[in-house]
Structure 1
Amino acid sequence: MKWLKSVRYLLCLTLFTSLIGGALAVNGGQVAEAAANEYKFDFGAGAVENGYTGVSATDAYTTAKGYGFNTPANMRNVTASGTGVASDAVQFVTFGTKSTNTFNVDLSNGLYEVKVVLGNTARSSVAAEGVYHIINMTGNGATDQFQIPVTDGQLNLLVTEGKEGTAFTLSALEIRKISNQTVTNRTIYIGGDSTVCNYYPLGSSVQGGWGQLFPSYVNTSTFQVRNMASSGQFARGFRDDGQMEAILKYIKPGDYFILQLGINDTNAKNNTTEAEFKEIMRDMVRQAKNKGATVILSTPQGRATDFNSANVHTAENRWYNASTRALAQEESVKLVELNKLSSAYFTSIGPAATLTLYMTGDTLHPNRDGAAQLARIVASDLRRQGLDGF
């Protein structure tokens, strides 16, 4: 029976070698790390961090490797000021959400969590599958993550604007399969402007938008939060320039869509009358409702200095608020009166304490503490209105 034992030994050794070989990360244009459906890429021409697959700007996609750049001629190796994986990067010389200048990774269909680490950049966004996924990451080495369903066997990702004229760079990418289902978990999508958007580093920024701090008040075992707000945004821009497109690609029954705009719509440079604002907002409300999502409109908070002589904070007539209130009633959607609710809170703490919740010398933009208070107020009101997840 010695021959049988030898056969068993060879079979076990072959199986073991195959499993180990599939789990190891190797460099020099060979197969990427794929242990337990996890992939880790370190971009640039420098040293490759342990556990990562190194990818240079010159690495073209091949089916044999299962990863690489679609058009490496439009990529460039660059340095970066961070450490570890953030010490170097690749730059996307051509870009845009519809660009074919993507980094491609072959993946089995399912739901993935994707973590990105940018290189040196002033303001960049991340796009995949032709739409935005992260809006306006700022500062060198900025880090964020998102969920994405893969339905065609491949992830196609690039770093894009952001802000024209800046370098769109990527230092590292981590991909982890979290489900065989090809739909996102229940999601709260948020649209808005600089009082709502994310600031980086996400965990320690001085300035904050209430959408950035919102996950602290959400049951994250029920929902993920996708904050698609951006600084300076107004209703027409949010609808027409890619943010609403990204939401509509993935939003589904069971999801929430919270939309708060109006501050920048009242700015003359954006050329939006109140009647136009209302109809653009109505269009977005109806598109999200048609996808089966629960739509929630919110009125923006006022300025820190909106106190009258009796030290009562009031800003009800700012930011086209009347049209937002009317639209919520006309379209039978939920309304968070953040304007009134925040005014009541500011009145309760007084003018001096209210100023401490805003950026120094800035009466419009909340700091991190102020954003947390606004997020708390929004979540509390949604819970009061009977929505789950808070």
Structure 2
Amino acid sequence: MFRLAFFGILSLGVTTVMAQSYRFDFGAGPVARGYTKVTPEMQYTPERGYGFLPGSPVQGLYAVRYIRDYVTSTQPFFFSVKLPEGTYDVKLLLGDEKDVSYTTVKAENRRLMLEKVETKPRKFVWKTFTVNVRTARITDTDSVRLKPREKDYFQWDDQLTFEFTDVLPKVAALEIRPNTKAQTIYLAGNSTVVDQAQEPYAAWGQMIPRFFKPEKIVVANHAESGESLRSFLAEKRLAKILSVIKPNDYLFIEFAHNDQKQNDLQPFVGYKDLLKQYIKAVREKGAKPVLVTSMHRRNFDQQGRIINTLGDFPEAMRQTAKEENVPLIDLNAMSKTLWEALGPQDSEKAFVHVAAGTLPGVTKDIHDNTHFSNYGAYLLVQCVISGIKAAQLDIASELTEDTPAFDPARPTSYERWKFPASPFIKNVKPDGN
């Protein structure tokens, strides 16, 4: 319930409106022609349809030249715009007339869109990313069966919410325009894939948008904690995806952690049958299924080797991929290499291991060997990207030029990796294990 706790109650009724474009000019200076002026005290209301969310002090700076004034804060700050479901290109002007700036941008539930954009004094830069906005509605009479906690998430409402963060974030202008042509990568999975709403948890699905070129590719992450192939169907999450997926779009499918707990579901029978049901449904829409084997839990033997806790489920998915001629990303195999390369001690930093008192509200030690920290999620998404390249998917050509080459046997150390955390914190473990 982080939205209620952090921002107070916001009444967000879903509206049916035509997608439209916006141009916002932030700061205390004069408004640029064709833009809507946004000053720090302008908080979001449904009637206005845009504004800052309460919680962080936003400062507006003045500049002599139009559109070169900006807003900033010493803490992460949030700006939200009321928008109908769809895909949008977002263009940001970042920088400062007098000083440097470092800005990281997350959207909706902490989806990483831009990472540590640096600008020099008197240098401004336009940066673009593409983001998906969705609601739970499938038809006039049918909707996704959301869990109670999801109703307070940023990503099921009628708003596009931005989190601006890093050492010196400075946002001068923002433009939003609809994009009806982008190829969409839909994600179906559990807590290891979902856009985790709160620190210290993260998953690879919320890291991957940052690595695709804007305007061409958009990621729509429909994964949710605690899900299995069956429950994803029963809650109509797959039905939601099928209602909007287009020919040539992708659906990445990663399930196993919760499926293996169902006593009547066998890897080579029921599990494979369900996978084939997903594959068939996606292909009937002219879209492309991709199977992703589930990563290993952090479970080492005395020799520092990973113990398989997922049984035959990863192998059943490998077999299904061959039988159905579906591309496979073997995250299970890559994660074994990755965790063993880090070792029993350093791998703790990739998972949620937090000492009591080190984060607000965390009164007991957390030792979670299933769910990931930001660091672990960032390493895993690089494995997924390696799998995209190895499978020769056409979207590999749309990866950003700064996407690093990655070898899971030689991961970046935690000490050399920097990432700004979000202000939302919970000490409740996500559903699933």
TM-score bracket for the superposition, by shorter chain length: 0.5 to 0.7
* Structure 2 residue 193 is the aligned partner of structure 1 residue 196: yes
Q: Which residue of 2 aligns with 1:140?
A: none
Q: Which residue of 2 aligns with 1:263?
A: 257
Q: Distance in 2 between matches of 1:332 and 1:172?
A: 38
1:226-246: CA deviation from partner (whole Å, max 9, x where unpaired) = 111100000011123121112
Matched-pair contact (CA < 8 Å) for 1:260–1:298: yes
Q: Distance in 1 between matches of 2:281 and 2:253?
A: 12
Q: Distance in 2 between matches of 1:212 and 1:165?
A: 18
Q: Which residue of 2 aligns with 1:146?
A: 132
- Aligned residue for 2:340, secondary structure, equals helix
Q: 1:55 aligns with which of 22, 26, 47?
A: 47
- Aligned residue for 1:55, secondary structure, equals coil
1:290-332: CA deviation from partner (whole Å, max 9, x where unpaired) = 2222211011111111x33432225285361121111111110
Matched-pair contact (CA < 8 Å) for 2:260–2:313: yes
Structure 1 residue 285, shift from structure 2 partner: 1.0
Matched-pair contact (CA < 8 Å) for 1:213–1:375: yes
Q: Which residue of 2 aligns with 1:308?
A: 301
Q: Distance in 2 between matches of 1:54 and 1:352?
A: 48
Q: 2:221 aligns with which of 219, 223, 227?
A: 227
* Structure 2 residue 222 is the aligned partner of structure 1 residue 236: no
Q: Distance in 2 between matches of 1:334 and 1:221?
A: 24
Letter in 1 for 2:186: Y
Q: 1:186 aligns with which of 175, 183, 186?
A: 183
Distance verdict in 2 for CA 1:302–1:291, change over 3 Å: same
* Structure 2 residue 323 is the aligned partner of structure 1 residue 330: yes
Distance verdict in 2 for CA 1:39–1:276, change over 3 Å: farther
Q: 2:333 aligns with which of 336, 340, 362?
A: 340
Q: 1:357 aligns with which of 338, 343, 350?
A: 350
Matched-pair contact (CA < 8 Å) for 2:187–2:251: yes
Q: Which residue of 2 aligns with 1:280?
A: 274
* Structure 2 residue 375 is the aligned partner of structure 1 residue 369: yes
Correspondences of 1:1-390 after superposition (within 5 Å):
37-38=21-22, 50=42, 55=47, 82=55, 113=88, 146-147=132-133, 162-164=146-148, 173=159, 178-179=177-178, 183=180, 185-200=182-197, 205-268=199-262, 271-274=264-267, 275-305=269-299, 307-315=300-308, 318=311, 320-360=313-353, 361-387=367-393, 388=396, 389-390=398-399
Structure 1 residue 112, shift from structure 2 partner: 5.5
Count matched residues: 271
Q: Distance in 2 between matches of 1:165 and 1:147?
A: 18
Letter in 2 for 1:163: K
Q: Distance in 2 between matches of 1:324 and 1:161?
A: 27
Matched-pair contact (CA < 8 Å) for 1:228–1:243: yes
- Aligned residue for 1:257, secondary structure, equals strand
Matched-pair contact (CA < 8 Å) for 1:206–1:367: yes
Distance verdict in 2 for CA 1:209–1:382, change over 3 Å: same
Structure 1 residue 254, shift from structure 2 partner: 2.5
Q: Distance in 1 between matches of 2:241 and 2:341?
A: 36
Distance verdict in 2 for CA 1:160–1:81, change over 3 Å: farther
- Aligned residue for 1:363, secondary structure, equals strand
Runs of 5+ unmatched residues, structure 1: 1-32, 41-47, 57-66, 68-79, 86-104, 116-133, 138-143, 150-154
Distance verdict in 2 for CA 1:37–1:354, change over 3 Å: closer
Q: Distance in 2 between matches of 1:160 and 1:206?
A: 27
Matched-pair contact (CA < 8 Å) for 1:147–1:184: no
Q: Distance in 2 between matches of 1:169 and 1:344?
A: 34
Q: In angstroms, what is the RMSD of aligned CA positions?
A: 4.4
Q: Distance in 2 between matches of 1:229 and 1:35?
A: 25
Q: Distance in 2 between matches of 1:193 and 1:303?
A: 14
Letter in 1 for 2:132: F
Distance verdict in 2 for CA 1:51–1:363, change over 3 Å: closer
Runs of 5+ unmatched residues, structure 2: 1-16, 25-39, 59-81, 91-106, 111-129, 162-174, 354-366, 400-433
Matched-pair contact (CA < 8 Å) for 2:87–2:218: no
How much identity, in percent, do the aligned residues show? Answer: 23
Matched-pair contact (CA < 8 Å) for 1:197–1:229: yes
Q: Distance in 2 between matches of 1:220 and 1:236?
A: 33
Q: Distance in 2 between matches of 1:238 and 1:206?
A: 25
Structure with greater proportional helix content: 1
Matched-pair contact (CA < 8 Å) for 1:299–1:321: yes
Structure 1 residue 39, shift from structure 2 partner: 9.8
Structure 1 residue 255, shift from structure 2 partner: 1.6
| Higher relative contact order, structure no. (Cα contacts within 8 Å, ≥ 6 residues apart) | 2
Q: Distance in 1 between matches of 2:19 and 2:149?
A: 38
- Aligned residue for 1:311, secondary structure, equals coil
What is the TM-score with the length of structure 1 in the denominator? Answer: 0.58
Q: Which residue of 2 aligns with 1:20?
A: none
- Aligned residue for 2:296, secondary structure, equals coil
1:44-90: CA deviation from partner (whole Å, max 9, x where unpaired) = xxxx964977539xxxxxxxxxx9xxxxxxxxxxxx974799xxxxx
Structure 1 residue 186, shift from structure 2 partner: 0.8
- Aligned residue for 2:289, secondary structure, equals strand
Letter in 2 for 1:228: H
Distance verdict in 2 for CA 1:178–1:357, change over 3 Å: same
